Structure 1
Amino acid sequence: MQILRIDSATTGEASVSRVLTQAIVDHLTAQHPEATLVERDLATDPLAHIDPVTTAAIRTPQDMHDETVAAAFPAERAVLDEFLASDVVVIGAPMYNFTIPSQLKAWIDRIAVPGVTFTYKDGGPQGLAGGRRVIVASSRGGAYEDGNPADHQETLLRLVLGFIGIDDPVFIRAEKIGFGPKVRDQAIADAKAEIAQL
């Protein structure tokens, strides 16, 4: 069993999503001590935003790669292979300005690959990356009830994950963390109680 932990918060030790991804990983590895843990920190080791070279490396057959694209291919493909090799993916996703951090979007651009994690069949999209469990540690400064038009964080993640075939991601939320230390601590405690039930 392989667990992939993705962190994207840029706030270091002050990050709530990192507290939650650590708690989720601790819970999972206690349940599965034989599991292999792979960690990718997109804040301290960010992926570049895609450009013509990385897009070609990700999306075109290797026999079409020129020298520059061929040089970029191993590192680009490694991100995708890391995801595909994982049975459980834990994603730390804080809300930044109503959406996900741009470094997390750069990671998504490496895993949403036509012909690999999704395809079009019978006139519509079909996800190919199902069969793995995804747990999202979501942290937000405010309160965003379901259907809130300002939420482009969880709604985006649900859309992308569903598009590639992961229809049942689990979201562990810590909300209102900007409302003061007591509210923040309670939000973390409530989220950890949910994690204990996973």
Structure 2
Amino acid sequence: MNILVVKANNRPATEAISSKMYETFMEGIQGAEHLNVTTFDVFEEDMPYFGQDLFNAFEKLSNGSALSDVEQRLLAAKQKAKDAVEAADVLVFVFPLWNFTIPAKLQTFIDYIAEAGFTFKYDEVGNVSHPLEDKKVILLNARGGVYSLPETAPTEMAVNYMHTMFGSLFGMNMFDEVIIEGHQAMPDKRDTIIEEGLQKVSELASRIVSQSI
């Protein structure tokens, strides 16, 4: 089984709970010979932002013009992200909630792979199909506030966004998720909340190692 772990927090695990979730997950699957695990760290990769430079690159490719440095980097980064997703059976995204949404670097990764003909297709009448629907997606998210309540859920645009993109647009199997929330809003329960959440991450990793996925 090929597992792609997309790490989207460059803060140390001593400070960031999602970084600790990443460490816990990786420790849990370490040494499993039947698993081929690759980490794609969006903060370590060269990932220029999606924008006009990329569209300029596409135009230049079509007419044979020379590409600028940033255009070459964009095309290489986009292809690397697509290749990583295509090779994976399971995609594990580990990310925080920052300002109600995902980190910009993770957004860039999604922009790279959100491509008609790759992660989704339109037929002649506009219906959408999903070329990568066999892939399983796991979300590991940390958020200091409580966003699972009816009154706060609409403001949460990280996990909700990931479900919209990977579950709806890309049609992938949203297999599982672990969300640690409220550890900043409820400091008296912080240690318990984090400990219980990390235990769930460990249990999920054990399920993968035991091939019950």
Structure 1 length normalisation: TM-score? 0.84
Instruction: Structure 2: give runs of 5+ residues left out of the alignment.
Output: 208-213
In the superposition, relative to structure 1, how do residues 33 and 55 fare at CA in structure 2: closer, same or farther (>3 Å)?
A: farther
Match of 2:145 in 1: 142
AA partner of residue 102 (structure 1)? A
* Superposed displacement of residue 80, structure 1: 0.8
Question: Residue 95 of structure 1 contacts residue 138 of structure 1 at CA under 8 Å; is this kept in 2?
Answer: yes
**Corresponding residue to 1:128 among 126, 131, 145:** 131
Match of 1:52 in 2: 52
Give the count of matched residue pairs.
196
* Superposed displacement of residue 159, structure 1: 0.2
**Rounded Cα–Cα distance in structure 1 between residues aligned with 2:190 and 2:55:** 39
Instruction: Structure 1: give runs of 5+ residues left out of the alignment.
Output: none
Match of 1:71 in 2: 72
Secondary structure at 1:37 match in 2: strand
* Superposed displacement of residue 111, structure 1: 1.3
1:6 is aligned to 2:6:
yes
**Rounded Cα–Cα distance in structure 1 between residues aligned with 2:127 and 2:63:** 27
* Superposed displacement of residue 81, structure 1: 0.4
| C-alpha distance after superposition, 1:110-162 (max 9, x if no partner) | 11111111012343322222212211111001001165111111110000002
**Rounded Cα–Cα distance in structure 1 between residues aligned with 2:132 and 2:186:** 39
Report matched runs for 1:1-198 at 5 Å: 1-13=1-13, 14-29=15-30, 32-45=32-45, 47-55=47-55, 63=62, 66-68=65-67, 71-72=72-73, 73-121=75-123, 122-145=125-148, 147=150, 148-162=153-167, 163-179=169-185, 183-195=189-201, 196-197=203-204, 198=207
| Identity rate, percent | 21
* Superposed displacement of residue 46, structure 1: 5.4
**Rounded Cα–Cα distance in structure 2 between residues aligned with 1:24 and 1:96:** 21
Runs of 4 or more, structure 1, over 4 Å off, are 59-65
* Superposed displacement of residue 102, structure 1: 0.9
* Superposed displacement of residue 24, structure 1: 2.3
* Superposed displacement of residue 62, structure 1: 5.9
**Rounded Cα–Cα distance in structure 1 between residues aligned with 2:91 and 2:60:** 27
In the superposition, relative to structure 1, how do residues 114 and 66 fare at CA in structure 2: closer, same or farther (>3 Å)?
A: farther
Secondary structure at 2:27 match in 1: helix
Question: Residue 135 of structure 2 contacts residue 173 of structure 2 at CA under 8 Å; is this kept in 1?
Answer: no
Match of 2:211 in 1: none
AA partner of residue 40 (structure 1)? F
Question: Residue 138 of structure 2 contacts residue 174 of structure 2 at CA under 8 Å; is this kept in 1?
Answer: no
Structure showing greater Rg: 2
Question: Residue 8 of structure 1 contacts residue 103 of structure 1 at CA under 8 Å; is this kept in 2?
Answer: yes
* Superposed displacement of residue 20, structure 1: 1.3
Question: Residue 78 of structure 2 contacts residue 113 of structure 2 at CA under 8 Å; is this kept in 1?
Answer: no
CA RMSD of aligned residues (A): 2.6
Secondary structure at 1:168 match in 2: strand
**Rounded Cα–Cα distance in structure 1 between residues aligned with 2:64 and 2:119:** 20
